[in-house]
Every structure is written in structure tokens, then in C-alpha cells.
């Protein structure tokens, strides 16, 4: 898990290196340092997704296009859009990415 991994990294580093004094440490929020909280957040997130799909049964659709009537159209479209976005962006990187100081030299 991504978050757990970060948690271990944060644990393994010497804290005094980052934190100036004990007073500052008390002020810090650490809610996502605990992997269980991240887990809870994700579970809540997945539940809300299910509820969103379920709520489609209770609403009256007034579609402008026929495809809007398919069950979960917007969910699928949003998901596919974002996956497509990421993979196309990765492809774009092959074409447009240069070193950070490209324009300076």
C-alpha cells in the first residue's frame, strides 16, 4: 500500500532532523500517519461509490442523449476518462519531456 509504505519511511527517518522543538510536534496533525485511518478513508470512499450507483434507482433521469440512460454511465465515463488521461499523458511525456534546464542551455 502506498500510504503504508510512506508511513514506514517516515518512521525510519530520524525525527529530530525535521522537527525543531517538542512544542511544534504537539501542534502537528498526524491523522494519516496511521495506516488504519487511511484504510478507513478508503473504505468510506468505496462505500460512497456504491451508494452513488445505488442512488441511480431513485432519481428521475431527463437525458439529453440516449447514452445517459445507461446504468452508471457517468461513473464509467469518469473512470475511463481518468485512466485514458493518465495513459495518454504518459505517452505525451515521451514526446514533450526534456531536462529541467532545457531552455537555459
Residues found near other proteins in the complex (CB under 8 A): 1-2, 6, 9-10, 13, 17-20, 24, 27-30, 32, 42, 45, 48-49, 52-53, 55-56, 58-65, 68, 72-79, 81-83, 85-86, 88-90, 92-93, 95-103
Q: How far is the CB of 10 from other proteins (least distance, A)?
A: 5
CA atoms within 13 A on the CB side of 40: 7
The alpha carbons of the chain give a radius of gyration, in whole angstroms, of: 22
Burial of 6 (0-12, 13-18, 19+ CB in 10 A): middle
Identity of the residue, 40 or 92, whose beta carbon is nearer to other proteins in the bound complex = 92
Q: Which three cell numbers stand for residue 9?
A: 519511511
Complex with other proteins: residue 40 or 42, whichever CB lies closer: 42
Residue 40: CB minimum distance to other proteins, A:
14
Q: Which three cell numbers stand for residue 39?
A: 484504510
User: How near is the Cβ of 100 to other proteins at its closest, in Å?
Assistant: 5
As measured in angstroms, the least distance from the Cβ of 86 to other proteins is 6
Contact 72, 53 (CB under 8 A): yes
Scan for cell 439529453, then name that residue: 64
Amino acid at each position: 500500500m502506498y500510504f503504508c509504505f510512506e508511513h514506514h519511511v517516515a518512521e525510519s527517518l530520524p525525527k529530530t532532523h525535521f522537527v525543531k522543538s517538542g512544542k511544534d510536534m504537539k501542534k502537528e496533525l498526524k491523522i494519516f500517519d496511521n495506516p488504519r485511518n487511511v484504510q478507513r478513508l478508503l473504505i468510506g470512499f468505496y462505500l460512497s461509490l456504491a451508494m452513488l450507483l445505488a442512488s441511480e434507482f431513485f432519481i428521475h433521469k431527463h437525458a439529453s442523449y440516449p447514452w445517459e440512460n445507461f446504468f452508471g454511465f457517468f461513473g464509467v465515463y469518469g473512470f475511463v476518462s481518468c485512466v485514458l488521461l493518465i495513459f495518454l499523458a504518459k505517452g505525451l511525456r515521451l514526446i514533450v519531456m526534456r531536462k529541467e534546464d532545457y531552455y537555459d542551455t
